[in-house]
Every structure is written in structure tokens, then in C-alpha cells.
């Protein structure tokens, strides 16, 4: 992966050209389904906590009411963004709206992976030791951070 190469470019017509190799597209098509599975079947998984931060951290009753009223809508928004990423990973061109949704989905994936990996500011960009048991997951986390940067740059 050439980290200096710009992979997402804005076209004159306002669409965005994606210059991603097949292996990256395959990864981007597979990750949303994995997170969807967790969201739909393991909603209490601790790795999801950053996707659903508390709105009322000091008032449990207010927090419970907020979750009752908004929980399904929040989850539906996450699932919709993941579905768009998975469905458009093979596309060569995206609209601005689709690319904004990619940004949301990539962020969701990074939040969950970062939570699972217990990433902090000091370790977020460190390349993993290939001997570490979670080296592959950490590499995906770093790749998604790089791709997120590419999306932000293209949208700027």
C-alpha cells in the first residue's frame, strides 16, 4: 500500500473517483457485514460502547429513556451506513452523499476495532509486530484510519 498515493479524487462533475485495488475493495465489502452481525445479534457487546455513547451519563433514568426513544434509530443509522459501504465497495465512482456515508461507516468500524484492540492515542498509529495475535486486526484498523484520511481530503 502506497500511503502517499491519493486513492479518492473529486471529479469536475462532483462525483468521486475511487482508485482502490481489488484486495482493499474485498476487505471493504466484507467488514460491514461483520459489524452488522454484531449490531443485530450482540447489541450488548462491549466493543459497541463507543457507537452508542451515553447522552445522560449522570442520570440513569434519563439515559434509559433516551435509549428507549432513540436506540433503534441510532442502530438503524449505523446499519444503513454499513450497508452502503458494503454495497458500493466495488464501485469506481461515488456521489458526495455516498462518500459521506463511507466516512460514517469507516468511523464506526474504527471505533469498534479500536475498542476491541484497546487502542489509545499512543498506540493508534503504531504498526503491529507481525507476531502479535491481533496483528491482522490492528493492520485493518490502521488501514481504515488511512482511508478515512483519504476520504476527508477528497471531501475538503
pLDDT digits (tens, 9 = 90+) for 27-86: 999 999 999 999 989 888 999 888 888 788 888 898 888 888 877 888 889 999 999 999
CA-CA distance, 153 to 85, in Å (whole number)?
18
User: Is the model's pLDDT at 1 over the cut of 70?
Assistant: no
pTM of the model: 0.86
Q: pLDDT tens digits, residue range 77-133?
A: 999 999 999 999 999 999 999 999 999 999 999 999 999 998 877 665 666 667 777
Contact of 109 with 35, CB cutoff 8 Å = yes
Q: Which residues pair with 94 in a beta bridge?
A: 16
Measured in whole angstroms, the distance separating CA 4 from the mean position of its chain's CA atoms is: 21
Distance CA 74, CA 51 (A): 9
136 CB neighbour count, 10 Å cutoff? 11
Please state the φ and ψ torsions of residue 105, each to the nearest 5 degrees.
-65, -40
Amino acid at each position: 500500500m502506497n500511503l502517499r498515493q491519493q486513492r479518492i479524487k473529486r471529479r469536475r462533475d462532483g462525483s468521486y473517483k475511487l482508485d482502490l485495488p481489488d484486495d482493499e475493495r474485498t476487505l471493504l465489502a466484507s467488514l460491514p457485514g461483520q459489524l452488522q452481525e454484531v449490531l443485530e445479534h450482540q447489541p450488548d457487546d462491549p466493543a459497541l460502547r463507543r457507537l452508542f455513547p451515553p447522552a445522560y451519563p449522570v442520570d440513569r433514568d434519563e439515559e434509559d429513556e433516551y435509549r428507549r426513544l432513540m436506540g433503534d434509530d441510532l442502530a438503524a443509522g449505523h446499519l444503513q451506513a454499513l450497508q452502503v459501504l458494503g454495497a458500493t465497495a466495488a464501485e469506481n465512482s461515488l456521489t458526495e452523499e455516498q462518500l459521506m456515508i463511507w466516512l460514517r461507516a469507516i468511523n464506526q468500524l474504527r471505533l469498534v476495532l479500536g475498542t476491541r484492540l484497546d487502542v489509545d492515542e499512543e498506540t493508534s498509529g503504531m504498526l503491529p509486530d507481525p507476531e502479535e495475535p491481533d496483528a491482522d486486526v490492528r493492520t485493518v484498523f490502521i488501514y481504515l484510519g488511512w482511508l478515512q484520511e483519504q476520504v476527508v481530503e477528497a471531501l475538503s
